[in-house]
Structure 1
Amino acid sequence: MAHRSFGKHKWASWKGRAQRCRRVVGTTAAVSAFLASGWAPLACGPTARADVFDAVIDQVLDAITGSWAGLAGVSGAVSEFGGLGGGAAGVGSMAAGPLNGWVQGLEQDWINSGLGQQVDTVLNSWFTLVDPTSGACGLICNGTDGVDGVGGGLIFGDAGNSAQPMSQNLLVDPGFEMADPSASGYSGVTIPGWTETGTPTVIAYGTLRGYPSPLSFPFPKLPAFLGFPQHAPAGTPAGDDVFAGGGPVATSSISQTVDLTGAAGTPYTLSADLGGQGLNPSYASVQVTFFGSNGNVLGTGSLSPVTVWDRLGITGFEQRDISGTVPEGTTSAQVTTIFHDENPFLGNYNGAYAANESFTVGDPNLTAATLTPPVSDVGHLDHVFLIYLENKGVGDIVGSPNAPYINNLIKTEDFDSNYFALGHPSDPNYIRVMGGSGFGIDYNPDTDVVTAPSLMQEMDQAGISWAGYEQGIAPGTVITPQDSVEATPFGLFTYVYDNTPAYLQEHIVPQADLSSALQNPSTFPSFAWVEPDEANNMEGPVNTFGSALQWLISQLTTHQYNIAAGDQYLQQTISTIENSPTWTDPNEKDAIFITWDEDFNNLSLGIDNQGNNVPLIVIPNQGAVTAGDMQAGPFTTDAYYNQYSLMATIEDALRTTPGTLAPLTANDMYAPPMNAFWK
């Protein structure tokens, strides 16, 4: 996919230099409008370094240091300048006076200061409005390298070097086109080629905005003008129809590392379209960090953010770019985009956006890396158990006096402190693990809603057995399609919901049958989803006045409702599994994955919002440790994983032959598998 590469401004230092340029389209004006504003004297100056201030000040400095002949050249140079076009690239460079370097430093210090960037943005935007064809980059700015026809600022700033060849954009998938965009805008996704933290997302332009509903039906969508950005920024390459955002809650980031071997000492350019949502003050920042061969930081450069004030509270984007010189000794660079969540309003949605990111250097031989799925170290498992609890974040569980058993597991087994659910409310967080997408669902459906392929379908095709063990189903129950959607996600997929009664009876099982099924390892399902009922899943129950009151009090206080019941449920269930022949057989490689569907902010009201950081506990049996190279507890990692990582790990662990359990979407294909739990 082609992505634009913005030009580079020429600087005297390797440090990142920021220039802010507001996009202005559809407006032209006569140069006389500029002259009438009181800047007319600037139209008469010599052709030094492509700007008027430099030309005049050089002559004055020459005079001060004894070069009277240079000063005499001012009048001749004035007649040659001839107007505002003097900022165009390609004009001659005047010989530097003795103090020229000092003045040059003052100019660049102003251009790159915070105040200078703010002032220059206004001046340059106004200048672009009144004379968009001048050939200068603005009033106070630096010209571009590798591009003809764009010079330094009319007041001051360096001209670019049009002869400087630049590389292609070195970022992998800089326009985020390889991602499967969130159809609701309220779920995190995998962004191929980028390393994530938190719950960043990718959204298509024109997506209408809703609000997560805890009910069995969605809330109405908002009008388009209140929705996500409806149109791509000007200059976006054809076919690039998505942008990245901070996601449903909390601060998130994406980053990638670029090989710069041989590029030290060459110019670089970093650029992006940054923006935000309406009055939401969340904003995006982009930084490049240069590293030496031993990992030491050699320098940085940062784009100026686009604040809600820059946008005037209007949803959209503005261009930002910086240029500089790659520090000597550099072998790699990391480009990081942080989506800063500053939203004080209901739900705390992170409305920071970025699009069209670009990083180039002055070495045309360098190219972007090839996009490939992450390497998996996940080993084969004979049985995978998944136990899903509800609505508790890491802060609610770790150290809780109501969860002594769980906290003992955290201390003695494998634990990841940096695992994330990817949205609200509950059901989409179940669907993602089995379908590889949220499918735009932002409510809790009570019937089948997904017609896309699923992991259940793939397991059936590969001959891999699976079952859902539900505590809420009484022994001897004749399973109906509605039973298949009550607790586990299986029936939310049409493939399961519309299947035969015998199929449902085989795959949707009362948890009371779990103990007997575990007696024979050869017949126990390879994948078992074990699900507590409302009384034990840590969310409910709320079916009586007393329980509803307790739930409400917990919303407003300690967020501990039902944790003790869930803790006891886990102790009983895990004891049943660990004391069974399926678990204790030394030839069987088994593992239990315990996690929560979302944090306490399940109503998207911002209550106990932990950014959807939820606990993940992994318990391997002895066979998985000795023969399967899993980490024996106690083991703790802070490796970033999310629900698509869980799906990818299940696929890798249960895959018996190459080609089976293939990734269903870009989300599970490019999500980082849980390699940390394997040696």
Structure 2
Amino acid sequence: MFVKRIAVATVAAAGIAAAVVATNADAGISVTPVAASVPAFDHIVLVMFENKKYSSINGSSSASYFNQLAAKSAKFTKSFAVTHPSQPNYVALFSGSTQGVDDDACPMNLGAKANLATQLAGIGKTFTGYSEAMPSDGYTGCSSGTYKRKHNSWVDFSNVPSSSNRRFSSFPSDFTKLPDVAFVTPDMCNDMHDCSIGTGDAWLKKHLDAYATWAKTHNSLLIVTFDEDSNTSVNQIFTTFTGAHVKTGSYSESINHYTVLRTIEAAHGLPGIGNAAQKSPILDVWQ
């Protein structure tokens, strides 16, 4: 007997894909079902690290926690950033477009363009961005110590309230108090930009291991990814999904920041914005 996955995805008007699966027992074919939609998670937390190519993290002894987490997650072996340098990738993941940003200049004021926070607000859902080392909630400055605004895309949009721009020190230990979607940005050392892979690895374990464990039994999801690789033309990055409904394993479909955004949108029944509208949400990792 051999195993074959058969899935035909269709996209509804709202942009949520449905999968059609079939099984032919007489022919000896068994089918691994593909989810019809992304689960409606209570909480999604996405944490973004910096400037490391996939091969620098995958299987590396310096990234032991990343790999321990991947072993109980959906790991994407063909995940790619959108561009170089850092800032346009953050903007792309948050708004479905680089918005013409092609450098790390600051301040970048992008006006009232559509973004994930406004999408969520439109359906009564909440978004909060948490930035480590930011000196105060609602801060709009370009730099303070190990905090850099270029890694904080939500502050660039005038239609995102300042109350959604918070210090990581206010990330709740009671995870039931998290917003519907949270983006987390470590500081310039802990995100691996200025410090070692081991530093970022230790930070991830210290600050988000408890949430990763909790998410599995509380209808929630942790997304771990990188803004870009180490400035190569390939731009392949390490990305994992951990939490409830996740089928552990390695997945080889090609995804990028727009695919991840589209999947977060689909979890809330939202259509894709910008370039995310051209992507199908990730469906094969759910059980």
Q: Give the TM-score normalised by structure 1.
A: 0.35
**1:122-201 → structure 2 map (5 Å cutoff):** none
CA distance in 2, matches of 1:619, 1:411: 10
CA distance in 2, matches of 1:480, 1:408: 35
CA distance in 2, matches of 1:414, 1:407: 11
**1:191-340 → structure 2 map (5 Å cutoff):** none
Question: Which of the residues 145, 152, 166 maps onto 1:509?
Answer: 166
CA contact (8 A) 1:395 1:610 kept: no
Return closer, same or farther for 1:478/1:465 CA change in 2, 3 Å cut-off. Answer: closer
- Mapped pair 1:642 → 2:256: yes
- Mapped pair 1:472 → 2:133: yes
Per-residue CA deviations over 1:573-598 (Å, capped at 9, x if unaligned) read 22242466xx47x4x31010101111
CA displacement at 1:527 relative to structure 2: 0.4
CA distance in 2, matches of 1:511, 1:478: 9
Return closer, same or farther for 1:520/1:614 CA change in 2, 3 Å cut-off. Answer: closer
SS at match of 1:512: helix
Q: What is the aligned partner in structure 1 of residue 152 from structure 2?
A: 488
CA distance in 2, matches of 1:438, 1:478: 25
Query: Structure 1 unaligned runs (5+)?
Result: 1-369, 497-502, 542-561, 602-608, 656-660
CA displacement at 1:449 relative to structure 2: 2.9
Deviates more, 1:448-457 or 1:636-645: 448-457
CA contact (8 A) 1:447 1:491 kept: no
- Mapped pair 1:600 → 2:230: yes
Q: Tell me the percent identity.
A: 24
CA distance in 2, matches of 1:636, 1:478: 38
Q: What is the aligned partner in structure 2 of residue 418 from structure 1?
A: 78
Question: Which of the residues 100, 117, 134 maps onto 1:440?
Answer: 100
Return closer, same or farther for 1:512/1:576 CA change in 2, 3 Å cut-off. Answer: farther
Question: Which of the residues 11, 17, 30 maps onto 1:375?
Answer: 17
Give the counterpart letter for 1:646 in structure 2.
V
CA distance in 1, matches of 2:61, 2:114: 42
The structure showing larger relative contact order (alpha-carbon pairs under 8 Å, at least 6 residues apart) is 2
CA displacement at 1:415 relative to structure 2: 0.3
CA contact (8 A) 2:86 2:150 kept: no
- Mapped pair 1:528 → 2:158: no
CA displacement at 1:384 relative to structure 2: 0.5
Question: Which of the residues 110, 117, 133 maps onto 1:456?
Answer: 117
CA distance in 1, matches of 2:223, 2:139: 28
Query: Structure 2 unaligned runs (5+)?
Result: 1-10, 19-36, 143-147
CA displacement at 1:663 relative to structure 2: 2.2
CA contact (8 A) 2:79 2:256 kept: yes
SS at match of 2:151: coil
CA contact (8 A) 1:421 1:613 kept: yes
CA displacement at 1:482 relative to structure 2: 2.4
CA distance in 1, matches of 2:120, 2:91: 16
SS at match of 1:677: coil
Question: Which of the residues 521, 526, 538 maps onto 2:192?
Answer: 538
CA distance in 1, matches of 2:213, 2:57: 25
CA distance in 2, matches of 1:461, 1:467: 15
Q: What is the aligned partner in structure 2 of residue 409 from structure 1?
A: 69
CA distance in 2, matches of 1:598, 1:482: 23
Q: What is the aligned partner in structure 1 of residue 48 from structure 2?
A: 388
Q: What is the aligned partner in structure 2 of residue 615 from structure 1?
A: 238
Give the counterpart letter for 1:467 in structure 2.
T
Q: What is the aligned partner in structure 1 of residue 220 from structure 2?
A: 590
Give the counterpart letter for 2:260 in structure 1.
L
Q: What is the aligned partner in structure 1 of residue 266 from structure 2?
A: 652
CA distance in 2, matches of 1:402, 1:641: 25
CA displacement at 1:445 relative to structure 2: 2.9
Return closer, same or farther for 1:639/1:527 CA change in 2, 3 Å cut-off. Answer: same
Give the counterpart letter for 2:139 in structure 1.
T
Q: What is the aligned partner in structure 2 of residue 97 from structure 1?
A: none
Q: What is the aligned partner in structure 1 of residue 8 from structure 2?
A: none
**1:66-85 → structure 2 map (5 Å cutoff):** none
How many residues matched? 252
CA distance in 1, matches of 2:54, 2:212: 25
SS at match of 2:200: helix
Return closer, same or farther for 1:478/1:437 CA change in 2, 3 Å cut-off. Answer: closer
Q: Give the TM-score normalised by structure 2.
A: 0.80
Per-residue CA deviations over 1:514-547 (Å, capped at 9, x if unaligned) read 2xx24151x3201011111011111115xxxxxx
Question: Which of the residues 484, 508, 519 maps onto 2:174?
Answer: 519
**1:7-156 → structure 2 map (5 Å cutoff):** none
Return closer, same or farther for 1:610/1:533 CA change in 2, 3 Å cut-off. Answer: same
Larger Rg: 1
CA displacement at 1:375 relative to structure 2: 2.2
